[in-house]
Amino acid sequence: MTPGYILSRLPWWGAAIFLAVACCLWIYPFVWMVAVSLKSSTAVFADALSLIPSDGFHPENYDRAWTTANFGTYLLNTVVITVASVALVVARSCLAGYVIGVYRFRGRKVLMGILVASIFAPTGLTIIPIVQMSQQLGVTNTRLGMVLALAGGGHILGTLLYAGYFETLPSELREAAVLDGAGFMTVFLRIMLPLANPVTATVTVLAFLANWNAFFVPLVFSLNAPSIRTVSVGMISFIGQYSTDWPGMAAAAVISLVPIVALFIGMQRYLVDGVAGAVKS
């Protein structure tokens, strides 16, 4: 390494140190949250800045969050509701995306137009009729109603990603299979859908993120049914009830965030692809 090389790299190492400090600041709230979740209530107030508990670790905070504050139940609710709604989103997106991408049926343009036009319909606009309709169907205050409301509206990007992908596949693939006597469903399930695995991964991750983190719909669907609360709704009712239990609050937050952060670290590539797709398409 010549001195010139080292000198030319120096500004980049300067930038790296700046970014390293910025990143520490960025993740500080999460580090603080984990630290508080292991402190005793007195230590939280006695040494606000220290990240290491002064009077030993207190894992019983997690016990309290899990049982007393019901986060065990809330976490189970969140998992069930998220998995069901993600499955529904992926199923309806790949089915619709396939025929929109591959077939030139009548009304295709109109359908695409309606889907794209309503892509930004905000929850604030649709929520009141959704609740009224769900009441008439008798599914407010039920997990089913929540799943339908989470998976039914929105999620247009998934359909568009599938449609865009299937459109790029050569039509010979399908034609050859048809010649061999394969029916519509066989072509779709055996040939086309497996080819779209990367798209399925992206749509799954995006839908998982949206539904796990959802708040508006779970909130209004569980206003009168505490037993079906998700973790995000459970959190505000928890601090409404025990506003001074900082360690319990922090432990509940850690319980709620660990699954989604673990998923992010495992599936980062698909997530970044999906987000970037919103700009590129």
Residues from 249 through 268 that contact other proteins (CB under 8 A): 249-250, 253, 256-257, 260-261, 263-265, 268
Task: Count the neighbouring beta carbons within 10 Å of the beta carbon of residue 6.
Answer: 10
Judge whether 241 and 125 are in contact, CB under 8 Å. no
Instruction: Provide the b/e sequence for 248-280 (b: ≥16 CB within 10 Å).
Output: bbbbbbbbbbebeeebeeebeebbebbeebeee
The residue among 56 and 280 lying less far from other proteins, judged by its C-beta, is 280
Considering the rule CB under 8 A, would residue 167 count as an interface residue with other proteins? Answer: yes
Choose which of 54, 68, 118, 227 interacts with other proteins (CB under 8 A). 118
Distance CA 251, CA 255 (A): 6
The residue among 57 and 184 lying less far from other proteins, judged by its C-beta, is 184
Residues of span 52-81 touching other proteins by CB under 8 A:
none
Nearest residue to 101 (alpha-carbon basis) of 166, 155, 156, 157: 166
Considering the rule CB under 8 A, would residue 49 count as an interface residue with other proteins? Answer: yes
Judge whether 165 and 102 are in contact, CB under 8 Å. no
Distance CA 245, CA 126 (A): 36
Choose which of 79, 115, 139, 193 interacts with other proteins (CB under 8 A). 115
Near other proteins by CB under 8 A, which window of 52-60, 68-76, 159-167, 192-200? Answer: 159-167
Tell me the C-alpha to C-alpha distance, in Å, between residue 3 and each of 10, 12, 83, 145: 10, 15, 56, 67
Choose which of 74, 166, 212, 270 interacts with other proteins (CB under 8 A). 212
Structure token pair of residue 25: 């600041």
Choose which of 84, 246, 248, 270 interacts with other proteins (CB under 8 A). 246
Considering the rule CB under 8 A, would residue 221 count as an interface residue with other proteins? Answer: no
Choose which of 65, 90, 209, 251 interacts with other proteins (CB under 8 A). 209
Residues in the chain: 281
Distance CA 271, CA 203 (A): 9
The distance from CA 231 to its chain's CA centroid, rounded to whole angstroms, is 13
Near other proteins by CB under 8 A, which window of 52-60, 61-69, 189-197, 215-223? Answer: 215-223
The residue among 68 and 258 lying less far from other proteins, judged by its C-beta, is 258
Residues of span 129-158 touching other proteins by CB under 8 A:
129-133, 148-149, 151-154
With tokens 């709620």, the residue in question is 256
Considering the rule CB under 8 A, would residue 6 count as an interface residue with other proteins? Answer: no
Near other proteins by CB under 8 A, which window of 55-63, 65-73, 98-106, 192-200? Answer: 98-106
Judge whether 105 and 99 are in contact, CB under 8 Å. yes
Choose which of 2, 105, 109, 180 interacts with other proteins (CB under 8 A). 105
Q: What is the DSSP letter of 66?
A: I
Considering the rule CB under 8 A, would residue 163 count as an interface residue with other proteins? Answer: yes
The residue among 1 and 279 lying less far from other proteins, judged by its C-beta, is 279
Size of the site for other proteins (CB under 8 A): 105
Choose which of 192, 199, 233, 251 interacts with other proteins (CB under 8 A). 233
